[in-house]
Amino acid sequence: MKQKTFSLVILTILSLVMLVGMASAATIFSADFNGTSLSDWTATTGWSDAGDYAESIVNMGAVLSRTISTSGYASIIVSYNRQLGDAWESNNNFSVSWSIDGTNFNTLEEITGDDDPNDASFVSRSYPLPSTAEDNSNFILRINCATDAATSEFCRVDNVLVSGTATVSTDVPEDISECVLTGTTGNLKIEIDDINNIAGFGDDTEWLPLDEIEVDIKVENNGDEKIKNIEIKWGLYDVDNNDWIFDEKESDFNLKDGDDKTITVTFDLGDPSDYEDGNNFVFYVWATAEDGEFDDQEICVSDSDEIEIIIESDFVVAGNIEYLNTVSCGDSVPISAKIWNIGDSDQDAVSVVVYNKELGFSQIVEVGDINAFDSEAFDMILELPTNLDEKLYQFKMEVRDEDGDVYVNDYDDDEAVSTLPLTISGCGNVAQTASVSASLESGGKAGSPLVVRTTITNSGDKSATYTLNAASYTGWASSATIDQSTFILNAGNSKDALITFAVNKDAEGTKFFDLEVISDNELVLKQPVSVSIEKSGFSLADGNSYIWFLGILIVVLIIAIIIVAVRLGRR
């Protein structure tokens, strides 16, 4: 009993392990070469299309062949129906064989001499492909029948089916393996049409951490029917760690026959600690769909480009820069960022300088020490003069080392300098008849309400009616509700109001909104306010969280099974 219980435990554990990861081998190419149509075959003299079979009769040796690409396949399977004449002599023969690029013939079946021809039978043979088949080789199937006696000596072959199995390299992510195993009808095509490094310090295929990348993905329908439910997925894969740095998907769509569509995706490289120096990276795109030309058969196609991630030794840059880029004269503009050490050496006494030569403005902020692949928060308030011209001003943000020198990378001598365009507008409408302040009342997590307490003060010399409004928050919250938006204040008096934001689930980091105060149908004050949003907690929508959840679940199941098994063993 104990032995059976132990076996049950082991079998259950193995089943769970197999559930988590399965072998990536399946039939990938399949083509039915029925004898009723020899148009796709290369046939020598002696073969004829005789109704529902291909036939060779009397003194006519022949070879029937067809070429199939075998790139990446591990083995082939050949099956067919055959019928042989009753009066075969010893010098007659029938054979089925295959070759790779015209050499290395391997016999799948051979009947000679006194072998029993079995009259009519179904035959299926499997044979592994040699390593040479991995390099776009050609598979040639040869069905050979040779006779030299009576007319009753014949051979017939029909319903020839060739299929193949493949094993996928461990360097390829599971998603791409599954795509390859799904196969394609050949009508859908996907390609990486263009890659542009639109913001950062790298190139189009040589990226540095924090770079912003734009990729054009082109999809074509080269068939004669609509291809439906095309879903494009894409991501950057770390080959050495066998893991996605990130992977995303787009909404599905349909393509009529002959149509094409280009999807543009934009992303940044995120946390520099995700990238190990010297590792190999590949950017993949793939698409699943249903091909109407083949009864909505599920298909999948893919494309990829190798990407080099450049890791510097001493390079610190500003990332995740957030600020309101359209403000008014006299505004206080909060600027936040993360100062990232994207090099593999620790840095001491890092500082940031923000300046505009036209305005004669310069402000330095000490950031401090930053470890390799780590970051420190940066926050400052840019106090604007009240007498500015309404136009675009270009502010610069420089990251400097302990000697006060701007960081320069070794890749192409780029300096760690960011440009902050700031548009000044609405200065003529600003009348300082009110002041406003804001503080966090409650909340501050993604997906949860955030409440801000505001205090409005009538700084004028007479009573006034004020209307409070929240604006410029739609990038991180779906709505903003004010408990009391309109009220009358005597000169010098103040009033509190609570603004509740419905924070989006994917919001994170420092976010901004505008507090607008309107009086007599004129905007008398617009005050930028910053709030900090923390990432939401555990969620099955998060890939890593799901993996941890699955792992914990499996462990709990195993422990439960062992406990039950032990109890059964004691009975």
Is there a common fold for 25-166 and 183-309?
no
Backbone phi and psi for residue 166, each to the nearest 5 degrees, phi listed first: -140, 145
**Tokens, residue 252:** 């599905």
Residue identified by tokens 């066998």 is: 242
**Residue environment code for 308-333, b if the CB has 16+ CB neighbours within 10 A, otherwise e:** ebbbbebbbbbbbebbbebbbbbbeb
Query: CATH classification of 25-166 is 2.60.120.260, yes or no?
Result: yes
Residue 339 CB neighbours (<10 A): 25
Residues in a beta bridge with 125: 78
Q: Which residue type is seen at 271?
A: D
Rg (CA), the chain: 36
CB 467 within 8 A of CB 488: no
- Using DSSP, state whether 74 is helix, strand or coil: strand
Architecture of domain 431-533 in this structure: Sandwich (2.60)
CA-closest candidate to residue 332, choices 141, 104, 529, 118: 529
- Asked if 463 and 412 count as a contact pair (C-beta separation under 8 A), the reply is no
What's the fold here for domain 316-428? Answer: Immunoglobulin-like (2.60.40)
**Alpha carbon 11 to its chain's center:** 36
Residue 340: closest CA among 382, 303, 376, 384: 376
Q: Which residues pair with 316 in a beta bridge?
A: 341
Candidates 169, 187, 185; CA nearest to 177 is 169
Classified as helix, coil or strand, 208 is coil
Give 421-483 as a DSSP string.
EEEE--GGG---SEEEEEEEEE--BTTSEEEEEEEEEE-SSS-EEEEEEEES-TTTEEEEEES
Chain centroid to CA 524: how far? 47
* Continuous H helices in 72-182: 174-182
* Residues in CB range of 567: below 8 A, 6 or more apart: none
Q: Which of 495, 332, 509, 508 is closest to 422 using CA atoms?
A: 332
- The domain locations on the chain are 1-24+538-571, 25-166, 183-309, 316-428, 431-533
pLDDT at 10: 36
pLDDT digit string (tens) for the chain, length 571 residues: 444 443 433 333 333 333 333 333 444 444 444 443 444 555 554 444 443 444 444 334 556 666 666 655 666 667 676 766 655 554 556 777 767 665 555 566 676 655 555 556 667 666 666 655 554 556 666 666 665 544 455 666 666 666 665 555 557 788 887 787 676 777 899 999 999 999 889 898 899 999 999 999 999 998 889 999 999 999 999 999 999 999 999 999 999 999 999 999 999 998 888 998 889 999 999 999 999 887 888 888 888 899 999 999 999 999 889 888 888 888 888 899 999 999 999 999 999 999 999 998 999 999 999 999 999 999 898 888 888 888 999 999 999 999 999 999 998 899 999 999 999 887 765 456 788 888 888 988 999 999 999 998 988 888 888 899 998 888 889 999 999 888 888 888 988 999 999 999 988 888 888 888 888 888 888 788 888 888 876 444 444 554 555 667 777 777 777 776 666 666 5
Cβ atoms of 492 and 435 within 8 Å: the answer is: no
345: left (phi over 0), alpha (psi -120 to 50) or beta: beta
Q: Is 175 exposed, middle or buried (0-12, 13-18, 19+ CB in 10 A)?
A: middle
Q: Write out 434-448 in H/E/C secondary structure.
A: EEEEEEEEECCECCC
Do 263 and 219 touch, CB atoms closer than 8 A? yes
Q: Between the CA of residue 275 and those of 285, 344, 545, what are the distances in Å?
A: 20, 11, 20
pLDDT at 301: 87
Alpha-carbon distance of 398 to 420, in angstroms, equals 11
Instruction: At 192, list the tokens.
Output: 């990486």
Nearest CA among 243, 303, 249 for reference residue 274: 243
Q: Residue 213: beta bridge partners?
A: 197, 267
Q: How far apart are CA 296 and CA 12, in angstroms?
A: 37
The residue whose two tokens read 């109890």 is 567
Q: Strand locations in 373-414, DSSP E?
A: 375-383, 392-400
Residues 283, 204: Cα–Cα separation, whole Å: 12
- Residue 523: closest CA among 438, 431, 421: 431
- State how far the Cα of 413 lies from the Cα of 407, in Å rounded to an integer: 9
β-bridge mates for residue 190, sequence order: 219
Decide which of 3.40.640.10, 2.40.50.140, 2.60.40.10, 3.20.20.70 is the CATH code for 183-309.
2.60.40.10
> Is-contact 47 54, C-beta < 8 A?
yes
